[in-house]
Amino acid sequence: MSAERRVVRWAYLGRVPYAEASALQERLRDAVRTGEGGEHLLLLEHPHVYTLGRNAKRSVVVAAEAWLAERGLEVAECDRGGQVTYHGPGQLVGYPILNLDPDRRDVRRYVADLMEVLVRLLADYGVAARAARPGEPIGVWSGGRKVASLGVHLKRWITTHGFAVNVSTDLAFFEGIVACGLAGVELASIESLTGRRPSLAEVAAVCAGHLGRVFGREMAEIAAADIAAPAEV
């Protein structure tokens, strides 16, 4: 293996349906596994959707079907860890497709590193945040309120799924679920905490920079249209 730093191709993709983003992750993961593609960081937002992790039961969606239909909310099951969360406009979602083999084969370290990326990102926007402490639900917190969530999946040490940061998210949508499996959990966003409403494209660029520094990767921005194109490894 080359001693040079690995290159992660990243792009901000705008608004992408959840199923489409899931399929793209799988294609990129398989390309890494077969040696036909390199590492990626997908940064995007989703239309309104509740996603159920491997540990979640359908009962954590407490909203009535009529309430969901009126708001155009999809409910999707997925293979990430964790419980239920909401994704929607104004929330930056990050899907790192990274190969942790051979030097970062440690799931706890991977999750801790992702939280560190988000803590640094939030600090840049004036939010004093911290990673979850031992025994706390995984995520990033500010003053007892959850600002970012994580849910990851690893297959042969290649990562999919990732994190979501509330930037200018309408937090009322979390009322339809038992967010993260925690009754009464308070949510926050960059906007609710600071009054600032940065664009997701801007936040995505800042996020990519921090991920490169924390993971020791060279970050290469590419056009959204080129994200699924083959890359040299």
Tens-place pLDDT, residues 64-77: 999 999 999 999 98
The whole-number pLDDT of residue 81 equals 83
How confident is the model at residue 3, as a pLDDT? 57
Residue-wise pLDDT for 152-164, tens only, equals: 999 999 999 999 9
Q: What is the pLDDT of residue 181?
A: 58
Residue 24 has pLDDT above 80, yes or no: yes
Integer Cα distance of 53 and 9 in angstroms: 26
**What is the per-residue pLDDT across 100-109, written as a single tens digit (0 to 9) for each?**
999 999 999 9
180 included as an active-site residue: yes
Q: What is the pLDDT of residues 174-184, one digit of tens each?
A: 999 876 656 67
CA distance 100 to 78: 21
From residue 164, give the alpha-carbon distance in Å to each of 5, 37, 147.
26, 25, 9
Q: What is the pLDDT of residue 145?
A: 95
Write the DSSP assignment of 61-75 as a string of letters: B-S-HHHHHHHT-EE
Q: What is the dihedral of CA 45, 48, 54, 58, to 10 degrees?
A: 170
Which of 31-37's residues contact partners 24+ apart within 8 Å by CB, and which partners?
31/230, 32/97, 32/99, 32/158, 32/233, 33/155, 33/156, 33/158, 35/233, 36/230, 36/233, 37/230, 37/231, 37/233
pLDDT of amino acid 58: 79
Identify the sign of the CA torsion 46, 158, 114, 137.
positive
Per annotation, catalytic residue among 127, 180, 207, 231: 180
Q: Is the pLDDT of residue 88 over 90?
A: yes
pLDDT tens digit sequence for 199-226: 999 999 999 999 999 999 999 999 999 9
pLDDT of residue 1: 40
Lowest mean pLDDT among 30-44, 61-75, 85-99, 217-231: 217-231
